[in-house]
Structure 1
Amino acid sequence: MKLFFMSDIHGSAFYLKQALAAYEREGASTIVILGDELYHGARNPLTAEYGPKEVTDLLNAHADHILAVRGNCDSEVDEMVLQYPLMATYSILMHEGRRFFLTHGHIYSENSLPPLAPGDVFCYGHTHVPRAEKHGDIYILNPGSIALPKENTPHSYGVLEGDLFTVKDLNGTMYKQIRFTE
């Protein structure tokens, strides 16, 4: 099973269309969204083609393939218009015998990890900076932001296939990669 990870859409129909084209190109079965779907938030600029309603329609067209967690810019109103559950601050995903802790990153973060076991994977968004690293006996993944990347990183998403996680720019060029070896 191939999983497609994205985060921090922030209401950008322009970048979501590109990310969904990448999802189709990758042939993934599931879209994992790590928060901040519809709104830009008070600290962020408006995104290209800012359109929460259009973003809602685009995401709802894929609702049966989406697993999502709530970000700091998401609200209960968002769950009323999106046709998939959104309000959990975290979710647990088992993939090929490995536990993935999915969250946005504003409550749990690298500096405030939840209880994890050796070999577990901590997946988050929020920082808008891609990560694919191992810290001690825990893997740290962040697909970056499709709409508002920071620290001179590309507009990016992540793909998990087997034991390989790859961060790619929206054109599909590899940016970072890590293989789970435990």
Structure 2
Amino acid sequence: MVRLKHRYFLIRLVFDDQKFGHNIEPYQIYGRIKNAVETIHGDHGLACVDVSLSVKYINVYTNIVLIKTRRQFHRLVWSSLPFITYVTENLGKRPKKIPCFLHTLHVGGSIRSCQKFLIKYHRKKLDSILDQCSTPGEKRRVKKSIESASLETEDPGKNSEEESSGSD
């Protein structure tokens, strides 16, 4: 068996209104990418990409999206991203089109590499993101959202306790 290799795109949604907290779901991003690939590359491009395309992570406060696709066809997705000009926001019964464009921040071979890049990116942008918050509750939600994207680190004291208890 041959192992399937993937590419992960770390993308920032850039909106005209600079408001964050849009009500955008992963399936809406997925649908916009599929439509763009079909428009640019036709049925063949859509068939190649549709098998493995998925939206793994979306953060509505920082407007970050993580997309997974096969390495063999990642250039089809990558070349179609600039042609996405809007996303649809859920507002009850009437969906609303929000003008935006997708800015590719990082392309990696693993989720971990994208996660490492995202931590560095969030450290640089944290102050400007928190300045845009209007209430303390909103600041807490943004901080919690950013922390959920960061790597889980082990407590260094925990490992030393386990090693000392195992050697007795």
Q: Shorter-normalised TM-score: what interval?
A: under 0.3
Return the structure number with greater strand share.
1
Larger relative contact order, structure 1 or 2 (CA cutoff 8 Å, min sep 6): 2
Provide TM-score, normalisation by structure 2: 0.24
Provide TM-score, normalisation by structure 1: 0.22
Return the structure number with greater helix share.
2
